[in-house]
Amino acid sequence: MTIPEVLVLGAGGHAKVLIDILLSLGTPIKGALEPNQELWGKSVLGVPIIAGDEFIFTYKPEDILLVNGLGSVKNTLPRRKLFERWKAHGYSFASVIHPKAIVSSHAHCDEGVQIMAGAIISAGVQIAENCVINTGAIIEHDCKLEAHVHISPGAHLAGTVKVGAGSHIGLSASILQNLSLGEACLIAAGAVVVDSVESGKTVMGIPAK
Ligand SMILES: CC(C)(COP(=O)(O)OP(=O)(O)OC[C@H]1O[C@@H](n2cnc3c(N)ncnc32)[C@H](O)[C@@H]1OP(=O)(O)O)[C@@H](O)C(=O)NCCC(=O)NCCS
């Protein structure tokens, strides 16, 4: 089977982690795309930064796969907009799963999901499109993540947690079992969430308020 070539959108830290995984998987990378023209001609881990995003139009949607290299530290919207823009033009996003992530064969991941090194995804988990499960995060059994969610490094979700679209779960946060987080919630780094959280709310601390 031929592995399709990919273009990575972005050339910053998140893109670098993804490129590292793609290289380890032997995925052919055409290049990285970046709006800042000063970076054109430079490279990330040996992958050339070739142009801005409009370069994608030089390919038909069926001839290339995209990788969303835009990360987020609290606001997932720019990453979501990038994904939706290119989906609207008919392009598809590759999923990127580190070979040393543990993903249950009874979990389900949609298009463009990214799972970094050391993450653990248990049985019955559903992860919708464009989510990031970052380094060392744990998603326990039967959790359901809507699209564009970012689970930061070291965060833990206990069993049967629901996370609404576009929410950001901060570095090393913990969410207790059976809770529901609404859309676009921001859970601060280190928080321990013991109650469900309404859409659009930010909570922090232990217990999170
Ligand atoms: C919650 C967060 C978004 C707040 O960021 P911010 O809006 O820039 O807020 P500030 O840093 O100005 O802090 C505002 C207040 O909240 C407190 N605070 C900030 N982060 C906190 C945290 N994680 N837990 C508890 N209190 C926190 C600050 O001490 C400050 O308190 P003060 O008003 O009494 O001085 C941010 O601290 C955070 O946790 N981001 C997540 C980072 C992350 O997940 N990174 C991984 C990316 S891969």
CATH of the domain at 134: 2.160.10.10
Residues in contact with 161: Cβ distance below 8 Å, sequence separation at least 6, in sequence order: 140, 143, 144, 175, 176, 177, 178, 179, 180, 181
Residue 182: how many other CB atoms lie within 10 Å: 18
My answer on whether 173 and 107 are in the same domain is yes
Q: What's the structural domain count of the chain?
A: 2
Can you give the pLDDT at residue 4?
Answer: 81
Domain's final residue, options 40, 59, 94 = 94
Same domain, 83 and 102: no
* Alpha carbon of residue 136 to chain centroid: 13
Q: Which atom of ligand 1 is nearest to the CA of 173?
A: 44
Q: Is 209 a member of any domain? A: no
Atom of ligand 1 nearest to the CA of 155: 44
Ligand 1 atom index nearest CA of 14? 48
Do 102 and 180 fall into the same domain?
yes
Residue 121 belongs to a domain: yes
Q: Among all residues, which ones are annotated catalytic?
A: 141
Per the CB < 8 A criterion, the answer to whether 157 and 140 are in contact is yes
Residue 61 DSSP one-character state? G
Checking if the pLDDT of 121 tops 90, the result is yes
Residue 113: predicted pLDDT: 98
Domain boundary (34, 61, 94) is at: 94
Which residues lie across from 114 on neighbouring strands? Answer: 96, 132
| CATH number of the domain where residue 74 is located | 3.40.50.20
Instruction: Give yes or no for residue 91 having a pLDDT over 90.
Output: yes
Residue 3, pLDDT score: 66
**Ligand 1 neighbours by CB, cut-off 6 Å:** 73-74, 134, 152-153, 170-171, 186, 188-190, 204-205
Q: Are residues 76 and 29 in the same domain?
A: yes
Does residue 84 lie within any of the structural domains?
yes
Between CA 118 and CA 102 the distance in angstroms is 7
Q: What is the pLDDT of residue 86?
A: 98
Using DSSP, state whether 85 is helix, strand or coil: helix
Determine the structural domain holding residue 71 and report its residue range: 6-94
With the most atoms of ligand 1 within 8 angstroms of its CB, the residue from 70, 74, 152 to mutate is 74
pLDDT, residue 99, reads: 97
Residue 184 lies in a domain: yes
pLDDT cut 70: percent of the chain above it: 99
